[in-house]
A and B are shown apart, each in its own frame.
Chain A
Amino acid sequence: MHYSEAGLTELEYQALVKELGREPNDTEMLIMGVMWSEHCSYKSTKKILSGFPTKGRYVLMGPGENAGIVDIGDGLGLAFKVESHNHPSAVAPYQGAATGVGGIIRDILALGARPIASMDGLFFGKPGSSKTRNLSTGIVKGIGGYGNAVGVPTVGGKTFYHESYNDNPLVNAFCIGLVNVDGIVSSKTAEPGQIAVLVGSKTGRDGIAGAAFASVELAEDTKASRPNIQIGDPFVEKLLIEACLELKEKGLIVSMQDMGAAGITSSSSEIAAKSGVGMIMHFDMVPLREEGMTPWEIALSESQERMLLVILPEKLEEVSAIVRKWDLDCAVIGEVVHGSEYIIMDGENTVAHLDASTIGEGCPDPGWKMKEPSDLHDRWDFELEDLPLSTDLGKDLIELLATPSLGDKSWIFEQYDHMVQINTSIGPGNQDVSVLRIKGTSKMAALSMEADPCKCYLDPYRGGAETVARSIRSLAVCGARPLGMTNCLNFPSPEVPEQYWVLDQVVRGMAECCRKLDCPVVSGNVSLYNETSSGRILPTPVVGIVGLIETEDHLLPSGKWEEGDHLFYVGAPNPVLSGSEYQRLRTGTVKGRPLDFNSSAEMDFLERALKTASAGLARSGRVIKGGGLCVALAKECIANGSGIRMKVNIPTRKDVFLFGEGGPRAIYAVPSNRVVLFRKMWEGFPFMMLAKVEGDSLHIEDTLDIPVEYLEKAWRNN
Chain B
Amino acid sequence: MKTSVIIFPGSNCDRDVIHAVQEITGEPVAPVWHKEDTLCPDTDLVILPGGFSYGDYLRCGAMASTSPIMKAVRDHASSGRLLLGICNGFQVLTESRLLPGSLLSNKTLTFICKRCYIKVERTDTPFTSLYNEGQVVQFPIAHHEGLYFLPPGELRELEDNGQVVFRYCSPDGEVSPDFNPNGALNNIAGVKNRKGNILGLMPHPERASESVLGGTDGALMWRSIIKWLEKEGA
Contacts and interface: CB of A to CB of B under 8 A. Distances in A.
Name the residue in A149, A325, A552 with the highest tally of chain B Cβ atoms < 10 Å from its Cβ: A149
A419 interface: yes
B140 to A, nearest CB: 6
Nearest to A151: B12
Interface string B1-44: 00000000110110110011000000000000101000000000
A235 B10 contact: yes
Interface in A174-227: none
B16 A238 contact: no
A416 B113 contact: yes
A417 B111 contact: yes
Contacts of B114: 410, 414
A422 B207 contact: yes
Name the residue in B20, B51, B113, B214 with the highest tally of chain A Cβ atoms < 10 Å from its Cβ: B113
A415 B112 contact: yes
B111 A415 contact: yes
Given A141-B110, A150-B12, A327-B9, A419 B56 contact: no
Contact of B52 (A238, A413, A414, A422): A238
Contact of A149 (B10, B110, B112, B113): B10
A325 B33 CA distance: 10
Contact of A421 (B16, B112, B140): B16
B140 A419 contact: yes
Interface residues of A, number: 32
B229 interface: no
A416 B33 CA distance: 27
A424 interface: yes
Nearest to A327: B9
A430 interface: no
Interface in B91-134: 110-114
B146 to A, nearest CB: 13
A256 to B, nearest CB: 21
Contacts of A238: 9-10, 12, 52
B14 to A, nearest CB: 9
Interface string A416-439: 111111101100000000000101
A374 B40 CA distance: 74
Given A235-B52, A327-B9, A422 B213 contact: yes
Given A148-B142, A425-B212, A552-B212, A420 B13 contact: yes
B113 A419 contact: yes
A233 interface: yes
B20 A422 contact: yes
A82 to B, nearest CB: 22
A139 to B, nearest CB: 14
A420 B142 contact: yes
B54 interface: yes
B207 A419 contact: yes
Nearest to A411: B110
Interface in A35-56: none
Name the residue in A141, A151, A327 with the highest tally of chain B Cβ atoms < 10 Å from its Cβ: A151
Nearest to A328: B9
A414 B111 CA distance: 7
Contacts of B19: 422, 439
A411 to B, nearest CB: 9
A234 B52 contact: yes
B54 A422 contact: no
A236 B213 CA distance: 29
Interface residues of B, number: 33
Contacts of A151: 12-13, 51-52
Given A149-B55, A235-B55, A238-B52, A419 B142 contact: yes
A420 B16 contact: yes
A414 B207 contact: no
A414 B110 CA distance: 9
A672 B149 CA distance: 53
Given A144-B111, A149-B56, A415-B110, A422 B16 contact: yes
Contacts of A233: 55
Contacts of B174: none
Contact of B214 (A327, A421, A425): A425
A420 B206 CA distance: 10
Contacts of B15: 421
Nearest to A152: B12
A58 to B, nearest CB: 23
A145 B144 CA distance: 10
Interface string B131-154: 000000000101010000000000
A572 B201 CA distance: 52
A239 B51 CA distance: 12
Contacts of B35: 325
B111 A420 contact: no
B217 to A, nearest CB: 14
Nearest to A239: B9
Contacts of A148: 52, 111, 113, 142, 144
B204 A419 contact: yes
Contacts of B210: 422
B137 to A, nearest CB: 16
B41 to A, nearest CB: 22
Interface in A591-637: none
Nearest to A426: B214
Interface string A325-344: 11100000000000000000
Nearest to A555: B212
B88 to A, nearest CB: 10
Contacts of A235: 9-10, 52, 54-57
Nearest to A148: B111
A410 B9 CA distance: 30
A415 B113 CA distance: 6
A552 B213 CA distance: 11
Interface string B151-177: 000000000000000000000000000
B195 to A, nearest CB: 30
A491 B110 CA distance: 32
18 contacts: A144-B111, A148-B142, A151-B12, A151-B51, A235-B52, A235-B55, A235-B57, A236-B55, A410-B114, A413-B113, A414-B110, A416-B111, A419-B113, A419-B213, A424-B213, A425-B214, A439-B19, A552-B212
Interface of B: 9-10, 12-13, 15-16, 19-20, 33, 35, 50-52, 54-57, 110-114, 140, 142, 144, 204, 206-207, 209-210, 212-214
- Nearest first, the 9 A-B pairs at minimum CB distance are A151-B12, A235-B55, A149-B52, A417-B142, A422-B16, A417-B113, A415-B111, A437-B212, A419-B207
Given A234-B55, A418-B113, A421-B15, 8 more contacts: A149-B55, A235-B56, A238-B12, A327-B9, A416-B111, A422-B20, A422-B210, A425-B214
